[in-house]
A and B are shown apart, each in its own frame.
Chain A
Amino acid sequence: QQQVKQSPQSLIVQKGGISIINCAYENTAFDYFPWYQQFPGKGPALLIAIRPDVSEKKEGRFTISFNKSAKQFSLHIMDSQPGDSATYFCAASSRGGSQGNLIFGKGTKLSVKP
C-alpha cells in the first residue's frame, strides 16, 4: 500500500516530442504528489507538484495530470528538449509513514535526442 509504481524505466524521445511518465499508487490517503528531476551527479530537485483536489497542473512545458479514481498521475513534458534529459522521480506523501513524508517511484531515465 505504501508503494508508488513508476513507468517506463527509460524513455527516448525526439526533440520537440511529448514525453509521458506514469505513476500509480494504492494508498488513498496520499494527498501530495510531487515530481523530482535529477541531472547526473546532482541531487533531485522539485519540478512540479499537485494535490488531489485538481486534475491538472501546468507549469511551462511541464504538466501533471491526476486521475483520483484510477489512483494514477502522470508527467507530460511538451516540446521536449535535449536539456530535459534527466532522471525523473514521482513521489507521494505518506504523512509521516514508515519512510518519512514521501514515497518515491523507482525513476525514469529520459533521453531527448536532437
Chain B
Amino acid sequence: EAGVTQSPTHLIKTRGQQATLRCSPISGHTSVYWYQQALGLGLQFLLWYDEGEERNRGNFPPRFSGRQFPNYSSELNVNALELEDSALYLCASSPRTGSTLGYGYTFGSGTRLTVV
C-alpha cells in the first residue's frame, strides 16, 4: 500500500512569491491535515480537510490556503511568501472521522520550503 506522498520534496522561493505544495493521501483515507514544522519546533496545525470541505484551520494568516480534490488529494498554497514561512510542511491523512478503521494519522515525508 502506498503511503502519503508529498511533492515537491524541496522548494525554494523568493520572498513575495507563491508556493504550491501537494499531498496524496493513503487510499481510503478521506481526511487530510497540513502542519507546519519550523526548524526544531513542534507540529503547528495549519488546515484540516475532510470529504472535500475545509473543517478547520489553525492560527495562520489567510495567505495560507488550500483545497481538497474529489480524489481526496490536497493542495496547500502560500501566497506572498515571507522569510519566516521557511519550514517543513507535513501532510497527514486518516480514515473518515468516526470510521471503524481507527483514526491514527499517517504522515508524508514533507516538503521543505525555503524562502530567500
Q: Determine whether B112 belongs to the interface, using a CB cutoff of 8 Å to chain A.
A: yes
Nearest CB on A from B44, distance (A): 10
Which segment of B12-20, B61-69, B76-84, B96-104 sits at the interface? B96-104
Instruction: Check: A104 CB closer than 8 A to any chain B CB.
Output: yes
Contact of A100 (CB < 8 Å), options: B33, B107, B109: B33
Report Cα–Cα, A36/B41, bound state, in Å.
15
Instruction: Annotate B38-63 by CB proximity to A: 1 below 8 A, 0 otherwise.
Output: 00111101001010000110100000
B109 CB contacts on chain A under 8 angstroms: 41-43
List of B residues within 8 angstroms of A12 by Cβ: none
Once the chains are docked, how many angstroms separate the CA of A44 from the CA of B112? 14
| A76 CB to nearest chain B CB (Å) | 20
A contact face: mostly helix, strand, loop, or mixed: strand
Q: Which of A41, A42, A101 contacts B94 (CB 8 A)?
A: A101
Of the candidates B40, B97, B107, which one forms a contact with A44 in the assembled complex, judged by CB atoms under 8 Å apart? B107
* Count, chain B residues at interface, CB 8 A: 29
Q: Does B27 contact A (CB under 8 A)?
A: no
Task: Assess whether B21 is interfacial by the CB under 8 Å rule.
Answer: no
- A14-22, A55-63, A64-72, A88-96: which lies at the interface: A88-96
Instruction: Kindly state whether residue B88 has any CB partner on chain A within 8 Å.
Output: yes
B88 touches A41 (CB 8 A): yes
Contact with B along A69-107 (1 / 0, CB 8 A): 000000000000000000001010101101111101111
Q: Does A54 contact B (CB under 8 A)?
A: no
Chain A residues with Cβ below 8 Å from B92 are 43
The answer on a CB contact under 8 Å between A44 and B55 is no
In Å, the complex CA distance between A107 and B40 comes to 10
Residues of chain A with a CB closer than 8 A to B45's CB: 99, 104
Ranked nearest first, the 8 interchain pairs of A and B with the lowest CB-CB distance are A43-B107, A96-B97, A101-B103, A106-B42, A107-B42, A100-B48, A43-B109, A99-B45
Query: Which residues of A come within 8 Å of B, CB atoms?
Result: 32, 34, 36, 41-46, 49, 89, 91, 93, 95-96, 98-102, 104-107, 109
Q: A95-B97, A100-B97 are in contact. List 10 more A-B contacts (CB 8 A).
A: A49-B104, A91-B105, A95-B103, A98-B56, A99-B56, A100-B48, A101-B104, A102-B104, A105-B42, A109-B40
